[in-house]
Every structure is written in structure tokens, then in C-alpha cells.
């Protein structure tokens, strides 16, 4: 989840990535002065200081191109193979056994085969709203999993999000669907958010502890509403992501800050939106009142890695 915000191109060391982003480059280019040129050159040198970086290539594309005659409606895509993989490697809290999955070549191939199944969908063909939501949530989560498995071992998805030069998993890792190629950012911002259900923010998983849990099964049209309700409630029941101070203050996830317009036009409206999903009656009443004081919790970008979790318990 970028804040609002096969093989792959090499990863660029992330120590300097945050020094400058694409908007900074555009601003410096717009100055058309020696000073601006010097600043731009220094910024790009800083970004590349940790080593040579490659731009995204065709190798960063997942799935395959299907002949038009073999494409199907999104409603006809079978997600059962993906459910089997999630059941094998994802626990009930959403932590992933990346180490075992990466070491199991057959299941890496199975994930690639599922991504090819997603590629067969024709996004322009008639499909139910539930089918479209389930499809694109699964696509986002499966692409993220494949991207992390390529990079693993790693401590955070943020290690693979170069802002100017080099590979950015959110922009450069693409999935073939129909005639198009979709990045994670495009799936999130151009497809899912435009469908108008704010609960997608508690279904798509950015491989981070601060994210909603990765459900240990695929989203499917037949029980999509139940799955969205359950995962949203589970998210707000986690004290790392939501807390209610007895003194009357709410501590909420930064997801609501990053995507504020998806939850409402004002802070009060945003709290009312999430109120029915909060874990206690007192918290629900306070959020629904429209007068609650609130603060944002720190976001944990650590990888949702079961191996790291086990090591921490020793």
C-alpha cells in the first residue's frame, strides 16, 4: 500500500531513496537554471550512491498475454489454487512463511500459474461488482506476495521502493490482465479505490505489519461482504492499529490519513464511517459522536514475516 502516495530488475539500496522523489526532480527541472541543474545532479548522484540500479524491464511483468478468444469474464476466474497456497503459508494473523514458500519451487510455480490465470481475465467483459472487487483485491495481494518472494530475505517492502532511479515494487512490478499491464499503484488507485468501497483499504495487504492482515484465503464474490466485514473488524481490534483511551481519545491508523477522502470529507465524517467496525461500544459511540479527539499511530513497515516473528520470541 503506497501511501497517498519470473525475475525482476535489481533492487537499488534504499539508504538514499528518500532523499528525493519524482516531484522534486520535476521541480528542479522546471527551474532551468545552473543552480537547479547542479541540485538535480547532486540529488541523482545521492540516489545512486549505494550502487548501480536498473529500470523496470519486461522481466518485471507477471502473468502472460492470452489470445482474445481465450479470455474470460472476471466472474469466471477460479481463485481456488490461490486459496490453497494461502492456507499453506499464511497463518490466521496474516503472517507469511516466506522462507518456506521461497524454498518450495513447486509452490513458487503454483503462484506464477495463478497469476497467469488472473491474466486471462477480460476486464472489459461484463462482471459483477463483487467479482471485480474480489478479483482485484486478490490480484493486488498475489502480486505483492510474488514481489516479496523474489526479494526475500528482506525486512520491509520499503527496501524496494526507489523513488527516482531503480526498481519500485509499487510502480515497476506489473501484472498482465487482458490487453493491459497493471502496477500495484494502478490496481489500488485507478481500479479499487474508484469502486467506492473504503473497506478495500482493510483487504489489500502491502506485506507489512501495519497493514490489514493478509487473509488466509482468497476473496470470492459469494462471501465478499462477510470477508470485508470480518477483516475490517479484525484490523480495528488490533491495539497496534486502533486504541481507545479511557480519557476519550482515539488512536487510529494512518491509512485513514493517507486516504482521507475515501472515508469522508471531514475528520468527523471519517470517524463516523469506521465507527460500526470498532471493537467496543464505547469506542463506537465516541467515533459516531463526531466530536472525538484523535491521534494517528505510527505505521509499522516491518515485513509480515513468520520467520522474523519466531526469531523475536526466542
More confident residue, 41 or 291: 291
Rg (CA), the chain: 21
State the average pLDDT over residues 266-294: 97
pTM: 0.85
State the average pLDDT over residues 218-234: 98
| Strand, coil or helix: 72 | strand
Which residues share a beta bridge with 251? Answer: 243, 295
Reported confidence tier of residue 32, pLDDT bands at 50, 70, 90: very low
Share of the chain above pLDDT 70, in %: 80
Q: Domain residue spans in the chain?
A: 54-220, 242-296
Reported confidence tier of residue 31, pLDDT bands at 50, 70, 90: very low
State the average pLDDT over residues 111-127: 98
pLDDT digits (tens, 9 = 90+) for 297-308: 999 999 999 997
Indicate if the pLDDT at residue 58 is higher than 90: no
Residues 6+ apart with CB under 8 A from 27: none
Amino acid at each position: 500500500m503506497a501511501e497517498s502516495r519470473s525475475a525482476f530488475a535489481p533492487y537499488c539500496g534504499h539508504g538514499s531513496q528518500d532523499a528525493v522523489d519524482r516531484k522534486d526532480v520535476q521541480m528542479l527541472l522546471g527551474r532551468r537554471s545552473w543552480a537547479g541543474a547542479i541540485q538535480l545532479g547532486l540529488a541523482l548522484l545521492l540516489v545512486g550512491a549505494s550502487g548501480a540500479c536498473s529500470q523496470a524491464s519486461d522481466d518485471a511483468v507477471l502473468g502472460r498475454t492470452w489470445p482474445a478468444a481465450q479470455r474470460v469474464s472476471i466472474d469466471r476466474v477460479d481463485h481456488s489454487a490461490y486459496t490453497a497456497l494461502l492456507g499453506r503459508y499464511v497463518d490466521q494473523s496474516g503472517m507469511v512463511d516466506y522462507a518456506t514458500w521461497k524454498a518450495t519451487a513447486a509452490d513458487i510455480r503454483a503462484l506464477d500459474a495463478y497469476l497467469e490465470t488472473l491474466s486471462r481475465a477480460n476486464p472489459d467483459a461484463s462482471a459483477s461488482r463483487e467479482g471485480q472487487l474480489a478479483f482485484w483485491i486478490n490480484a493486488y495481494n498475489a502480486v505483492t506476495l510474488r514481489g516479496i518472494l523474489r526479494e526475500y530475505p528482506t525486512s520491509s517492502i520499503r527496501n524496494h521502493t526507489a523513488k527516482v532511479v531503480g526498481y519500485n515494487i509499487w510502480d515497476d512490478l506489473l501484472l498482465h490482465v487482458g490487453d493491459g499491464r497493471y502496477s500495484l499503484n494502478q490496481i489500488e488507485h485507478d481500479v479499487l479505490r474508484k469502486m467506492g468501497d473504503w473497506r478495500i483499504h482493510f483487504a489489500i495487504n502491502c506485506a507489512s505489519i501495519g497493514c490489514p492482515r493478509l487473509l488466509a484465503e482468497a476473496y470470492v464474490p459469494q462471501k465478499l461482504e462477510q470477508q470485508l466485514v470480518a477483516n475490517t473488524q479484525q484490523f480495528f481490534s488490533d491495539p497496534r492499529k486502533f486504541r481507545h483511551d479511557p480519557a476519550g481519545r482515539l488512536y487510529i491508523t494512518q491509512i485513514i490519513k493517507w486516504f482521507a477522502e475515501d472515508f469522508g470529507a471531514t475528520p468527523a465524517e471519517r470517524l463516523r464511517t469506521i465507527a460500526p467496525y470498532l471493537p467496543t461500544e464505547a469506542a463506537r459511540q465516541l467515533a459516531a459522536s463526531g466530536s472525538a479527539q484523535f491521534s494517528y499511530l505510527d505505521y509499522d513497515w516491518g515485513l509480515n514475516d513468520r520467520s522474523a516473528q519466531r526469531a523475536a520470541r526466542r
